[in-house]
Amino acid sequence: MNQRQINQIVEGVKTTDGAGVNLTRIIGSPELNMLDPFLLLDEFGSDNPDDYIAGFPPHPHRGFETITYMLNGKWQHRDSAGNEGKLGEGSVQWMTAGRGIVHSEMPIQTDGLARGFQLWLNLPKEKKMIEPAYQDIESEQIPFVKNDKGTVKVISGEYNGTIGPGKSHTPVLIMDIRLNPESEISIPVMDGWNAFGFIYEGDVKSGESLSKGQLAIYNTEGNIHFKTNGTQASIYLVAGEPLNEPVARGGPFVMNTRGEIIKAFEDYQNGSFTP
């Protein structure tokens, strides 16, 4: 089977967001503005509570979905649609902002490491003004495929007949791959989809050598192949069908035109994001 080649290797930019959370911005940075339909990817992780304890107090969104995957630690979600959930280790919060929502993501003080990813997934033009929605996906609800090569957690999409619980408005594949030493794996991805793999532990070979903290962007045909040498590796692998639509950004809002961004700010300021 044809293996996808790497088009670009990106390393994230250290920054802060929310009320002062230290994180690494990998997509949505000057080096990589977006990878259609993915608007942003942040990795947050520290065993120092000062780096994250201020969290993300109430803030608005419109026009896209946020997918938060917790590797370690606990966070609490609340939003203006009345949803509330606690993200524990290995769980996922999937929020569809749609026409407008105000939400907060606040850490729950625990000992040790708080680490995870937040991905912004664009909504197609015809669905940007849908009703907000929320999926609280516990760790036990996320299926995995395990063999002597390692473990593949399927958060969304399908792998080897296993279907993930995350429901999106356009086709996406989201996986957490833990690969054993001296192992290799090939992940089928639909031709035409954009795909990236972020190496968050260890080193792998994927046509080219990749090390911890690097994100590989692949071309759009074939499977994605990973191979380890003497150490384990962990990869956050994501792929999706591009929307090929205009993108207008304005802080926490992502629409198709500048006029729609202005309208989003007006709607938020007049209180229409909250019931």
Where residue 110 falls among pLDDT bands split at 50, 70, 90? Answer: low
Q: What is the pLDDT of residue 145?
A: 96
Where residue 83 falls among pLDDT bands split at 50, 70, 90? Answer: confident
The structural domains of the chain, ordered by start, are 6-269 (2.60.120.10)
pLDDT of 87 above 90: no
Q: What is the pLDDT of residue 251?
A: 86
Cα angle, residue 242 at apex, residues 227 and 103 outer, rounded to 5°: 95
pLDDT of 236 above 90: yes
Q: What is the pLDDT of residue 109?
A: 62
Which tens digits make up the pLDDT trace of 160-205? 999 999 999 999 999 999 999 999 999 999 999 999 999 999 999 9
